[in-house]
């Protein structure tokens, strides 16, 4: 079984500090929080950024600022969002790929998300996949229900996504698939057998899905984007706290925690030296 890749979803584009005072929002805070999570065991940092009013924003200079601060301190894999939240239009969403990250999120279709619709038509997905292919960025295929796997396999058959296909099962979103062990087994049965997969359980489901994934060979995403509570009634105080719990579970199961280099090998990533962060414009702090 491969070492366990722990991804940390550092801040997200949904809730702000009104939800939890522990959310990092400036580039310096986001980089510091990601680094602390790395020390606790995270190999991958999934990044969103915020503007000065703490709203989600798709700002290349801010992404580069976080990535370059991280790179000064560790070799963590940077995974940029292509669905930043806030006011970003579908035309703007692929823009983070201009930075040619090693890894980027790829919401793999359409779904009701609570009161809104997450819109991922096949033409949009083809365009996003083509942009990722051209940037040599590995898509993290974010699967919120089983129909999205069919779309991913179709794009792979069209030559737009290369093996190994890397799936992130995002479970427990209102409107999406449930965060249960049975659902993980079902989704896993639909993907190519050599595909690495990970689980991000949203909210209180996070621990259940991580517990199911670790002995099955899956990987795990946690972080303040996905859950603000550590346990019932108790806010998580940091991303590192959430990551450290997953690392402890892995140890109990006898599964080593992946380094960033392990993650690059398992996911087939191009390496940090081939990203465009260093060349990007200097950013605000």
Q: Under the rule (CB under 5 A), what is the footprint of Zn ion?
A: 81
Nearer to Zn ion, 8 or 191 (CB): 8
Report whether 73 contacts 41 (CB < 8 A). Answer: no
| Spatial distance between the Cα atoms of 57 and 39, rounded to a whole number of angstroms | 27
Taking the complex as a whole, the smallest distance from the CB of residue 14 to Zn ion amounts, in Å, to: 8
Closest C-alpha to 272, from 83, 25, 79:
79
Report whether 168 contacts 141 (CB < 8 A). Answer: yes
Taking the complex as a whole, the smallest distance from the CB of residue 254 to Zn ion amounts, in Å, to: 30
Nearer to Zn ion, 57 or 158 (CB): 57
Nearer to Zn ion, 132 or 189 (CB): 132
Taking the complex as a whole, the smallest distance from the CB of residue 166 to Zn ion amounts, in Å, to: 15
283 sits in which H/E element: none
| Spatial distance between the Cα atoms of 22 and 273, rounded to a whole number of angstroms | 32
Nearer to Zn ion, 65 or 105 (CB): 105
What does the DSSP 8-state code read for residue 161? S
Taking the complex as a whole, the smallest distance from the CB of residue 219 to Zn ion amounts, in Å, to: 16
Taking the complex as a whole, the smallest distance from the CB of residue 269 to Zn ion amounts, in Å, to: 18
Taking the complex as a whole, the smallest distance from the CB of residue 104 to Zn ion amounts, in Å, to: 10
Helices 147-157 and 122-135, packing angle to 10 deg: 50
Taking the complex as a whole, the smallest distance from the CB of residue 105 to Zn ion amounts, in Å, to: 6
Say how far residue 173 (Cα) sits from the centre of its chain.
15
Nearer to Zn ion, 65 or 81 (CB): 81
Report whether 219 contacts 262 (CB < 8 A). Answer: no
Closest residue by beta carbon to Zn ion: 81
| Spatial distance between the Cα atoms of 235 and 230, rounded to a whole number of angstroms | 5
Nearer to Zn ion, 32 or 142 (CB): 142
- CB-based contacts of 182: which residues, under 8 Å, 6+ apart? none
Neighbours of 139 (CB within 10 A): 28
Nearer to Zn ion, 13 or 41 (CB): 13
């Amino acid at each position: 079984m491969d070492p366990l890749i722990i991804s940390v979803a550092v801040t997200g584009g949904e809730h702000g500090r009104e939800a939890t005072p522990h959310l990092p929002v400036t580039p310096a805070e986001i980089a510091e929080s990601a680094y602390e999570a790395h020390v606790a065991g995270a190999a991958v940092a999934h990044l969103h950024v915020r503007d000065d009013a703490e709203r989600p924003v798709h700002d290349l200079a801010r992404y580069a600022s976080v990535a370059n601060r991280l790179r000064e301190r560790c070799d963590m894999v940077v995974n940029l969002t292509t669905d930043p939240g806030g006011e970003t239009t579908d035309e703007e969403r692929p823009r983070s790929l201009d930075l040619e990250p090693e890894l980027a999120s790829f919401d793999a279709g359409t779904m009701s998300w609570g009161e809104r619709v997450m819109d991922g038509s096949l033409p949009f997905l083809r365009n996003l996949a083509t942009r990722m292919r051209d940037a040599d960025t590995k898509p993290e295929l974010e699967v919120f229900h089983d129909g999205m796997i069919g779309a991913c396999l179709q794009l792979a058959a069209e030559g737009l996504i290369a093996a190994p296909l890397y799936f992130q099962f995002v479970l427990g979103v209102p409107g999406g698939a449930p965060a249960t062990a049975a659902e993980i087994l079902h989704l896993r049965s639909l993907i190519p057998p050599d595909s690495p997969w990970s689980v991000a359980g949203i909210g209180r489901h996070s621990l259940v899905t991580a517990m199911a994934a670790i002995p099955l060979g899956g990987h795990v995403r946690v972080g303040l984007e996905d859950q603000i509570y550590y346990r019932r009634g108790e806010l998580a105080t940091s991303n590192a706290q959430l990551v450290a719990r997953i690392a402890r579970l892995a140890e109990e199961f006898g599964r080593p925690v992946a380094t960033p280099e392990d993650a690059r090998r398992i996911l087939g990533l191009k390496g940090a030296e081939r990203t465009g962060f260093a060349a990007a414009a200097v950013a605000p702090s």
